Amino acid sequence: MTLAEAVVAGAGPAELASLEVPTRYRAVHLRKDEVGMFNGQTKDGQDKDVRRSLHVGEVPMPELAPDEVLVAVMASAINFNTVWSAMFEPIPTFAFLERFGRTDPRHDLPTHVLGSDAAGVVVRAGQAVRHWRPGDRVVTSPAYLDSQDPIVQHDGMLAADLRAWGFETNFGGLAEFAVVKATQLLPKPRHLSWEEAACNMLCASTAYRMLVGERGARMKQGDVVLLWGATGGLGAYGVQLVRNGGGIPVGVVSSPEKAALLRAMGCEHVVDRSRFDDLTEEKGWRGLGAEVRRLVGEDPAIVFEHTGKDTFGASVYVAKKGGKVVTCGSSSGYDHAYDNRHLWMRLKQIIGSHGANYQECHEINRLISLGMVHPTLSRVYPLAEAADAARAVQLNQHVGKVGVLALAPKEDLGIEDGRLRERIGEERLRLFRG
Ligand code: NAP
């Protein structure tokens, strides 16, 4: 029996420890020799189709460092960083690997294994790992950092060498095996299947830090929160956190189907952005502001931003006097423009946010494990079709999260707590499945 087969069969710690780690494993990866493949291709109408750059095939198994763990990945998920990597934008991720390779040569390879989310089983733990052992069922946080850096005691996201795992490091989660630091591991929520457990951590923890965490917007009860992409990867967790915390979500989406899903999530106030001509112009900002006031009678205390260039001017404009725009990304472009008079004259703040520290990951994982925040998994692909999964996200054809099965032979495996599942209800847990 191979190690992968033993994991799938539910083998115990002793058996897992006795089986050999394979020398190669199947993984979704980019190839360094293809970095220039899209050069000059956007001018003639062709887009940077990620199905061309993403490959599924065997890669070499790395050595494990003393503070690392080898996880047999049952399921993973697509994040927008997978799309950025596969378009080689804003820079090819091999540049990150080369830089990292100066301190840890294992990562600087001709292949880059992607993926920043995973759920699976620990199969090996390095000598310095204290809290995890083979057989543990885990989910992963994406923050890869040096836990001996003093600033980490204050906030892990300020670590000098902070890297997004599976984006700025090699050996990510879209694979049969993944290498993570022990400080990335969290217990898998017992009521979720492998694919439901795998889809949450990156987006849910980022949304948690942005809205709830000490360094984010610190939402209060009754705060009106405008969320862009409210049925997307980040937004759908944002909406849940706003509702849980007693805020009033106003969700922005781009279609009637997404509007209906948002309402089914309990978000009463919905804005369809396709009704506004141009949100990069003041006329569009005013229209959006008027629509929010019409819906809730006041301006947002917080704007949840990740959409970037196309929306940022509007976000700064519509935030209320003294309000906050909290941003963690720039899907439509990072060279934002906004009218600074609206910021300073009305005493607003822009807060930059990135990922989440280990404690924040524990907080959101606890909420998920208690059944207070739910997965937003909409569709699941086999590993062999991970490029199609990433393509759906690239084209904004998805809602919530898109999952990928790795070693799990089918969906709906890995559920240990059926009673909690029953209490929450399948309808709620599968809301995004359509
Ligand atoms: P996603 O699943 O693709 O969702 C993004 C949503 O944004 C879509 O559902 C879409 O909703 C909306 N959107 C797309 N283009 C837009 C535009 N031009 N104007 C207005 N809305 C637009 O992606 P995600 O996982 O939520 O990630 C969003 C961004 O955040 C990405 O750029 C990602 O790299 C970044 N991010 C950063 C971090 C971090 O730690 N820094 C973490 C996670 C994600 P509608 O079409 O329905 O409006």
CA 406 – ligand 1 centroid, Å: 25
pLDDT confidence of 41, banded at 50, 70, 90? Answer: low
Region 34-61 average pLDDT: 87
Q: Which residues contact 179 (CB under 8 A, 6 or more apart)?
A: 62, 64, 68, 69, 70, 71, 171
User: Do strands 185-187 and 137-140 pair parallel, antiparallel, or not at all (unpaired)?
Assistant: antiparallel
| Position in ligand 1 atom list of the atom nearest CA 84 | 34
What whole-number distance in Å separates Cα of residue 311 and Cα of residue 294?
20
Beta-sheet pairing, 111-113 with 324-327: unpaired
Q: Is the CB of 272 under 6 A from ligand 1?
A: no
Q: Does any ligand 1 atom lie closer than 6 A to the CB of residue 273?
A: yes
Report which protein residue has its CA nearest ligand 1's atom 40: 355
pLDDT given at position 156: 96
Helix 201-211 / helix 358-369 crossing angle, nearest 10 deg? 110
What's the token pair of residue 270?
Answer: 């919905």
* Sequential DSSP letters for 51-63: HHH-EEEEEEPPP
* CA 392–ligand 1 middle distance (angstroms): 13
The alpha carbon of 129 and the centre of ligand 1 are apart by a number of angstroms equal to 35
Q: Atom 32, ligand 1: which residue's CA is nearest?
A: 331
Residue 381 Cβ inside 6 Å of ligand 1? The answer reads no
Question: Would you say the CB of residue 288 lies under 6 angstroms from ligand 1?
Answer: no
Pairing state between β 177-181 and 68-78 = antiparallel
Q: Which of 89, 396, 397, 399 to mutate to test the pocket of ligand 1 (most atoms within 8 A of CB)?
A: 396
Confidence of residue 42 (pLDDT cuts 50, 70, 90): low
Q: Would you say 56 and 386 are in contact if contact means Cβ atoms under 8 Å apart?
A: yes
Token pair for residue 317?
């404009």
Helix, strand, coil % (nearest 5) of the chain? 35, 20, 45
Determine the Cα–Cα distance for residues 232 and 198; give it in Å rounded to an integer. Answer: 16
For residue 286, pLDDT over 70 is answered with yes
My answer on whether omega of the bond before 13 falls inside 30° of 0, hence cis, is: no
Structure tokens at 315: 């976000």
Q: Kindly indicate the confidence band of residue 382, based on its pLDDT and cuts at 50, 70 and 90.
A: very high
For residue 351, the tally of other CB atoms under 10 A from its CB is 16
- Rounded Cα distance between 55 and 375, Å, is 27
CB 353 within 8 A of CB 210: yes
Neighbouring CB atoms inside 10 A of 111's CB total 19
Segment 18-46 shows an average pLDDT of 88
Question: Please, is 363 exposed, middle or buried when counting C-beta atoms within 10 Å of its C-beta (0-12, 13-18, 19+)?
Answer: middle
Q: Which of 148, 176, 150 is closest to 60 using CA atoms?
A: 176
- 189-222 confidence digits (pLDDT tens): 999 999 999 999 999 999 999 999 999 999 999 9
Q: Is the CB of 271 under 6 A from ligand 1?
A: no
Per-residue pLDDT for 45 more than 60?
A: no
- Across the chain, mean pLDDT equals 96
Q: What is the tens place of the pLDDT at every residue in 107-127?
A: 999 999 999 999 999 999 999
User: What spacing in Å lies between the alpha carbon of 426 and ligand 1's midpoint?
Assistant: 27
Residue whose structure tokens are 């959409």: 307
Cα of 306 from ligand 1 centre, angstroms: 6
Structure tokens at 396: 């904004």
Hey, which of 80, 162, 237 would you mutate to test ligand 1's pocket, going by the most ligand atoms within 8 Å of its Cβ? 80
Distance in Å, CA 230 to ligand 1 centroid: 9
Distance of CA 337 from the midpoint of ligand 1 (Å): 18
Q: Which atom of ligand 1 is nearest to the CA of 353?
A: 41
Cross-strand partners of 138: 120, 187
Q: Which of 79, 29, 83 has the alpha carbon at shortest distance from 56? A: 29
Percentage of the chain with pLDDT > 70? 99
Separation between Cα atoms, residue 137 and residue 21, nearest integer Å: 18
DSSP of 128-156: T--S--TT-EEEE-SEE--TTSGGGGT-G
- Chain segment 303-343, per-residue pLDDT in tens: 999 999 999 999 999 999 999 999 999 999 999 999 999 99
Mutate to test the pocket of ligand 1, among 89, 157, 234 (most ligand atoms within 8 A of CB): 234
The one-character DSSP state at 400 is S
Nearest CA to ligand 1 atom 46: 254
**Which has the closest alpha carbon to 329: 165, 184, 210?**
210
Indicate if ligand 1 lies below 6 Å from the C-beta of 309.
no
Residue located nearest, by CA, to atom 4 of ligand 1: 232
In three-state form (DSSP H/G/I as H, E/B as E, the rest C), the secondary structure along 88-111 is CCCCCCHHHHHHHHCCCHHHCCCE
Q: Which pLDDT score, from 0 to 100, does residue 268 have? A: 97
Distance (Å) of CA 12 to CA 80, 131, 190? 35, 17, 17
pTM equals 0.97
Q: In what order do the strands lie in the sheet with 24-31?
A: 55-60, 24-31, 111-113
